[in-house]
Chain A
Amino acid sequence: MRIHGLTLLALVGCQAPGPAVHPGAPPAAAMASVAPATDTGGSAAGDLGPVQGAPIEAALTSPPVVPPPTGRKVPAKVVVNLEVRELTLPISTGVDYTFWTFGGTVPGSFIRVRQGDTLEFHLRNHPDSKMPHNIDLHAVTGPGGGAASSFTAPGHESRFTFKALNQGIFVYHCATAPVGMHVANGMYGLILVEPPEGLRRVDREFYVMQGDFYTVGKYREKGLQPFDMQKAIDEHATYVLLNGSEGALVGDNALKARVGETVRIFFGNGGPNLVSSFHVIGEIFDRVYAEGGTRYQENVQTTLVPAGGATIVEFRLEVPGTYLLVDHSIFRTFNKGALGMLKVEGAENKGIYSGKEVDSVYIADKAESDEAIATAAEGLKAGTLTTEQQIEAGGKLYAGTCSACHQAEGQGLPSVFPPLAKSDFLMADKARSIGIVLNGLSGKVTVNGADFNSVMPPMSQLNDDEVANILTFVRNRFGNTGEAVSAAEVKAVRSQTPRPPGAAH
């Protein structure tokens, strides 16, 4: 009996009784007769006969790694063992979040099978889990996508079997009530059903998945951050991330490839709410299998990936450097974390690209290691923060947030951006400098005898400790010497500044 209740609670997709045919739609036979010769035949052609050989245990991989091609020519029985873990992991530097995961990672383990395979799916829920979980695989043909059959209490295991009838790249996710919360906590991943002949050969394959996250504290507010249900309902994401963490695909964790190689990215979007405008800065997708479908579009700049959907992109690398994976709904990249890197090594080709690196404008504070920032955050929390730690962290933040205008050595740009180096204006008034960072500045100012009449936008998205570290850095570098700025001082200035509703924080 309880199985029925599970379906009820699983809140899976709508399965209307009877055939869902639009009024006036041509009968199926007529449709078939006009279908192109290359039609794969869909699920009707997906049963490639009985399973052959001994069962195979699926090789599951953690992102960004993709399992190798199956290389099989006949249908197999594939056993999938997937374990649900509830884990507290970093979501950003100094910020932890309790993720619910398939296989211990966000996104969950990548599953790769061949069309016509029969999957024996074992879903285990770790004994230390607090919640029941299940799985709805979009690759399943059958009500609920497996959700009802896999509803699993902590410490238990459930099993179901399905035949992968349709080829393509599919999202899987948890569909336990409340579904939105389970998905928002990271319970999604991808399953690839290869066409019978396999995918075209490429040099490298990567697994990247976007998701939006909702925390009680604001973006980068330190400590363990609980899930915020109201923000999730309102669709006000605190973070939009690739592979579940701000650091997942940057710095040492960047994807790596070489000039001359063709790469394929399986890009999924777990949601729960936001649709992704997936783009790689500096590249053009040679082929996009839009929505994970069978046919490809060529020469695409940006492709839309719906929540609960996925796509396959392929492109050849001609020029070395760092390419940025972003959601081109671009505030998500610069203010919510939706950024990854593909680092490409190899010989320059000046005939294709002159080679000037403009990474600093784009990469912001993600280019460098966040270790110094984390050290300062821990020091602040423990009450042991030193001025040197603030300067170290502030330097990293400066490179990302400030250097595009004020320049790497604080020299500014004559008549456009005022200098911070040996700046009389900066050093004259500490409280004023805090206010300018938080609230911006427009209009005429005189710095070191030169007039500037420009606009600096408010940087109120920065946390109090980040502003304090940046100001401590600029007040003690570039030929300046001054006392440190504390987070408490920033907080005091921020609290005195009224902002209209809707302004950042």
Chain B
Amino acid sequence: MSALVLAWLLAAPAPVVVGPGVYRPLFPADPALATVPVAAFRLDVTPVTEAGFAAFVAAHPRWRRDRVPGIFADAGYLRHWASAEGPGAGARPDAPVVNVSWFAARAYCQARGARLPVEAEWELAAQAGDHGPVGRDEPGWTQRILDWYARPAALPGPVGQRPPNHWRVQDLHGLVWEWVEDFNQAAAAGDRDAARFCGAGSVSSTDKDDYVQFMRVAFRSALAGASTASSLGFRCAEEALP
């Protein structure tokens, strides 16, 4: 590991406290769960970086792309890296790591004594605006996120370049999609109710105008645990300190 990479890793900010708060799932698993209370937890300020993931792979070689079993990561796993060891000299160490599977992301967080955030936690953090815990009524907030969705995916730039939100968390929008522990939650909510399938606006969604959450739910539900994508990374969460 180069001195530059080591210095960058040491400089990464400690996770910050998010919540407690209330999250409104787009597709509640049960009508009684229209709002989900979320206990306070700690969340990484930025997504896990190339340098961070390269260090993990070095310490846990079974997660190298040439050794990982196919059931844990598909053929796209770390495909943008110059070699199985790491992203290569030309890559930015401070860019978020992408092309990682859910299994790999989980293993990374566990190795650190942390975990992936659950969807409710991630969404609670991501619904914050610049000035308060709910951003959707702040001018331009929704359009800013949609603008990112509308740009074609290119390998992302460095983390930590966007202003922190209300919880002091960065890059929840505008950099990469992110894994959550229960990414298939909406899918698993299933087909009990035929009315969910009906019509142009999905009668069972709680907020038809929340297009930005629609996009994330759609994205997550397209994934399997071994999936990878060039715009998909992750960050870790930890329990709140007692």
Is there a chain B Cβ closer than 8 Å to A330's Cβ? no
Smallest CB–CB gap between B205 and chain A, Å?
9
Is there a chain A Cβ closer than 8 Å to B199's Cβ? yes
Is there a chain B Cβ closer than 8 Å to A227's Cβ? yes
Smallest CB–CB gap between B103 and chain A, Å?
15
Of residues 76 to 106 in B, which have CB atoms within 8 Å of A's CB atoms? 76, 79
Q: Which of B198, B204, B229 contacts A154 (CB 8 A)?
A: B229
The stretch of A27-35, A124-132, A191-199, A483-491 in contact with B is: A124-132
The stretch of A1-9, A245-253, A443-451, A472-480 in contact with B is: A1-9
A152 and B222 contacting across the interface, CB-CB below 8 Å? yes
Q: How far is the CA of A450 from the CA of B166 in the complex (A)?
A: 68
Count residues on chain B whose CB falls below 8 Å from chain A CBs. Answer: 48
Smallest CB–CB gap between A110 and chain B, Å?
24
Smallest CB–CB gap between B80 and chain A, Å?
10
Is there a chain B Cβ closer than 8 Å to A88's Cβ? yes
B215 and A131 contacting across the interface, CB-CB below 8 Å? yes
B190 and A131 contacting across the interface, CB-CB below 8 Å? no
- Give per-residue flags for B9-37: 1 if the beta carbon is below 8 A from chain A beta carbons, else 0: 00000000000000000010000000000
- Give per-residue flags for A106-138: 1 if the beta carbon is below 8 A from chain B beta carbons, else 0: 000000000000000000000111111000000
How many A-B pairs with Cβ below 8 Å? 149
A6 and B152 contacting across the interface, CB-CB below 8 Å? no
B199 and A177 contacting across the interface, CB-CB below 8 Å? no
Q: Which of A1, A9, A98, A156 contacts B151 (CB 8 A)?
A: A98
Smallest CB–CB gap between B193 and chain A, Å?
9
B214 and A154 contacting across the interface, CB-CB below 8 Å? no
Q: How far is the CA of A227 from the CA of B148 in the complex (A)?
A: 10
A151 and B221 contacting across the interface, CB-CB below 8 Å? yes
Is there a chain A Cβ closer than 8 Å to B200's Cβ? yes
Smallest CB–CB gap between B176 and chain A, Å?
10
A130 and B76 contacting across the interface, CB-CB below 8 Å? no
Of residues 22 to 73 in B, which have CB atoms within 8 Å of A's CB atoms? 27
Is there a chain A Cβ closer than 8 Å to B111's Cβ? no
Is there a chain B Cβ closer than 8 Å to A12's Cβ? yes
Is there a chain A Cβ closer than 8 Å to B240's Cβ? no
B196 and A131 contacting across the interface, CB-CB below 8 Å? no
Is there a chain A Cβ closer than 8 Å to B224's Cβ? yes
Is there a chain B Cβ closer than 8 Å to A56's Cβ? no
Of residues 182 to 202 in B, which have CB atoms within 8 Å of A's CB atoms? 184, 186-191, 194, 196-202
* Residues of A contacting B177 in the complex (Cβ-Cβ under 8 angstroms): 130
Query: Which chain B residue has the least Cβ–Cβ distance from A153?
Result: B222
A2 and B191 contacting across the interface, CB-CB below 8 Å? no
B76 and A5 contacting across the interface, CB-CB below 8 Å? no
* Residues of A contacting B114 in the complex (Cβ-Cβ under 8 angstroms): none
* Residues of B contacting A127 in the complex (Cβ-Cβ under 8 angstroms): 76, 79, 229-230
A226 and B189 contacting across the interface, CB-CB below 8 Å? no
What range describes how many residues of A lie at the interface?
35 or more
Is there a chain A Cβ closer than 8 Å to B6's Cβ? no
Q: Which of A17, A153, A230 contacts B229 (CB 8 A)?
A: A153
Most buried by A among B76, B153, B177: B153
A2 and B230 contacting across the interface, CB-CB below 8 Å? no
The stretch of A178-186, A202-210, A347-355, A407-415 in contact with B is: A178-186
Query: Which chain B residue has the least Cβ–Cβ distance from A98?
Result: B150
Of residues 133 to 154 in A, which have CB atoms within 8 Å of B's CB atoms? 143-144, 151-154
Q: How far is the CA of A152 from the CA of B150 in the complex (A)?
A: 18
Is there a chain A Cβ closer than 8 Å to B147's Cβ? yes
A132/B184 contact (C-beta < 8 A), A7-B197, A11-B201, A86-B153 known: no
Is there a chain A Cβ closer than 8 Å to B227's Cβ? yes
Is there a chain B Cβ closer than 8 Å to A14's Cβ? yes
* Residues of B contacting A143 in the complex (Cβ-Cβ under 8 angstroms): 197
Question: What residues of chain A have their CB less than 8 Å away from a CB belonging to chain B?
Answer: 1-9, 11-12, 14-17, 86-88, 98, 127-132, 143-144, 151-156, 176-181, 185, 216, 226-230, 233
Known: A154-B232, A226-B143. 6 other contacts (CB 8 A): A5-B188, A5-B190, A14-B198, A130-B151, A181-B149, A229-B142
